[in-house]
Structure 1
Amino acid sequence: MRAPTVIVYARLSRDSDASTSIASQTAACRAYAEQRGWRVLFVAEDVDVSGASKLEDRAGMSTVLDSLGSADYVIAAKLDRYARSVLEFARLLRAADDSGATLVTADGTLSPDTSKLVVHVLSAFAEYERDMIKARINASKNHLRTVGRWLGGAAPYGYRLIKRDGGTYLDIDPEAAAIVRDCAEKLTRHGASLAGLARELNGRGILPPADHARQRAGRKTRGAKWSTTTLRDVLVTPAVRGYLVQSAPGKPRTARNLVPVLDASGEPHQVGPELLDAETWSTVRDAIEGRAVGRGADRTGKAMLLHVARCAECEGPMYHQRRTANGKDYSTYVCPRGVGKHSDHASNVVQARGLEQRTEAEFLKVFRRIGLMVKVHSEGRDVARELREAEQALDNLSGNLAALPAGGRAAQAVVSQITALESKLETLQREAATPARTEWQDSGVSLADEWKARTVEGRNALLRDLGAVVTVRPLAVGAERRFSETRADVDFTGPEWWRELNPAEAQLAAIAWEESL
């Protein structure tokens, strides 16, 4: 008959007390095993190791865990040699039970007969300890939120962590904040795109968020680059408002799914100063979402006249073909329906540089004395954004409530938040009955100066905002292949703000514009 097998485990925080030394523990365990006819497989030791540490963090205990399947018993001198944490000891009990092994102690606290009973008792204590730990953590987080302290983790891009008043707080990182604000300005005021801004940042050697944090911490950077996704995530997260954020219920933790953590009254927890104010952040999000395109949709690209130049033969769009040779630019705009032997009409290809220069000259001629107008809110408070945020917060809280045990403390807290938000929503809806007026105001910058300041993509956006249409005719038979201004007509339906005026005002504006020309 096979003798039962046993693994001896001995642990000591400091090897200085002869009564609890590794040697005395091992001797007691061997004597216990010998009395019962058990065969000792090996002795696992952990010296200078705390009993509160995780099982996997101890070399000796890791060996025990790996060998549980080969032993009938595991023995330690006393219960506290296994662990001084109820949670860790409960984990060890479950691992042993799953492997068919039994934990015992040489002092008789755990024996083959009582081990199962102790397992159930200690499991109950472990569950209680887990609940107490969760309660302490939640209470601590609630206190930190109340006083505006940072709960932990890396600071969002544009912020840094500072120590004051015995705690950690978010503060503005001047270098990164300037990048965020500059990108927001170019997106909302100068027609820039995420792709263009990402290229610009990489060209300037600006570090993306992860490498910026590494450099600030004195660590080696990894050579990462800005991408449109990285830049979008930096700009759309509510963290730029100084809010504590979390992922929306049931959604992955991505920047687009982050929502503010709400306090008991349903208001966002403010844990840092605003990087972007409410109106700027809302405008940035609208600009990014408005320019997001799917497969087959129009894209601005890097060509100045993309979706502006049109073919006179078929009225279809002309596309930019980039071509350089020996350092010279031979790029063209081409109508795809006028190419090849099966084309629908005569070939229509025009030199890109000449066409763009012709358009620019006409633009400056027409708009040199006209100022750039920007949208502003006036006469009252625009509550549309707050309404959207409150409605989204209600949806998120409802999702949280559905996942919580009914009648529990957490559920009651969520119900209280929902009640406060519903009251706030009613107030906002009453204010929305008299909405703020959106109007156009002079930015103080002329369209000519704005044109000079913009990138190629920004100029493309400006042309489209002004209703520009550049109609290109095919090259006449026998004509020289160099660009001729007679091939293109440049027309403008007028600035965007004109098209938002009422018909009477638009007509007066059109008359005034014609007279100014």
Structure 2
Amino acid sequence: MIPWSNKNIGLGGGHMRIAVYLRLSRDNGGSTSIESQREDCYALCAKRGWDVVIQGQDVDVSGTTPHTRRPGLAGIMARRHEFDVLLVARPDRLARSVPNALEILDALSDTDTSVVASDGPLDTTVPAERAELLRAIALAERESTLIQTRIARSRLALQHAERWIGGNAPYGYRIVPDGAGGKRLAEHEETAPRMRWIVEQILTGETVTAVCDSLNAEGIPSPATTCSRAGKVSQWSPTVLRRMLRSPALLGHRTVGQGRERLSATDVAGNPVRVGPPLIDPQTWDSLQTTLESRSRTPQRPRLRSSLLLHVAQCAECDARLHYNTRRYIGDGSSNDVYRCSGGCKVLISATRLEDAVRDWALDRFGSLPFVARLPCVSPPEDSSRDRLHSDVGELARRLVGLYGPAAEAVQRQLEAHSATWEMNHPINAACYEWSFTGKTVADEWEARGPGGRREVLLALGVRVAVRPANNQRRWSPERLALSATGPGAILLQAFS
């Protein structure tokens, strides 16, 4: 039970401190506008002789939102010791959810504060009127649920209906009435033949870029130009044209999604929703997609899970990590990848040269030494799944010994995945590690592993590289680097020297 106050304000005269709260999901100047709510609340205060000490409002905020996430109401509740009555124009202005209303009333009960609605008025210090207020909020909640259900059903029916539901028409189409109060797509007399010509050029061997150059040279308006309401003139773009050629809108389908993820909208039976005639037939569509897919280029540098020197390279100015940035020279498009300070310092250095310098330094000092793998200590196993995971990690570590090339990389990926699962599900003592020899030298481990595995080698050795800013000197210089190693590799080096 919520501890309600026995104090009854009686809605009569007397000195009462009032906090006025106004809320609206959208202020459109209607009968429940913020201004009309304010007038109703202040009229009641003037009639009863009450003093308004606080006012708060929330616009574009739903009544189902918890009071802690409404700035206006949260500010009032934070000062609930300063007023006697929280005044709202109507119960549904306070909340459209009974649980939310109960939370507000519960919080106000700590200070014996009442909630009053000016349209009743309702007073929560009176049990019958408190129940009436909650009943009104329950009706508002039910009304809100019904409205949302109707809107959801209308949207679903509209999505499945074979009609155009809004927005600019795809290139090659125009919007026309469907005769039933809705809209559909029809072929555009000028752009539809041009779209077929573009498809034909691609199928006969022309590149998307060459087609764009031809269209721009002939002064043919681009889709962005024809859709611009401000008269802005834009050139044909290979990226935009390629997106158009991959869109199922060419088949007369309504589409969903963006970019390369644009797909045909489907009805309840899973069939494409047709909103216009196809510009090309399905066979031509399949040939076009096959042609575009065959021309797609694989990036020269595949995106890695993380860079080689993540957690290894740091800024000498602020000790922040250096992050890998992919860049290209404007002239020939060649790689110009760099490591950059994540803390905002002016530390920028060539990624290739930095990685090569760290590799050469580490292999020169530790390459011939036996590699020691680091495994974190974990809490004692509590179930069979932990035992199995520990056994799998050990088995993969044993299999890695003696493997080279792709086979070693495959096992290394499995080991990393198991290790990630182990770290996620088991508490780790950061100060406790188990070290074990793999049977290979550091150089052998380096050659057998991919970029992620090589980073683990550097971390196991405790390698760190601090990079100083260029300070208007040559961008690349070994003098900018301060290399060190604090892991077992350094200890082994001392033992063998």
| Common topology (TM > 0.5) | no
Query: Into which bin does the TM-score normalised by the smaller protein fall?
Result: 0.3 to 0.5
Normalised by the size of structure 1, how large is the TM-score? 0.41
Larger RCO (alpha carbons 8 Å, 6+ apart): 1
Normalised by the size of structure 2, how large is the TM-score? 0.42
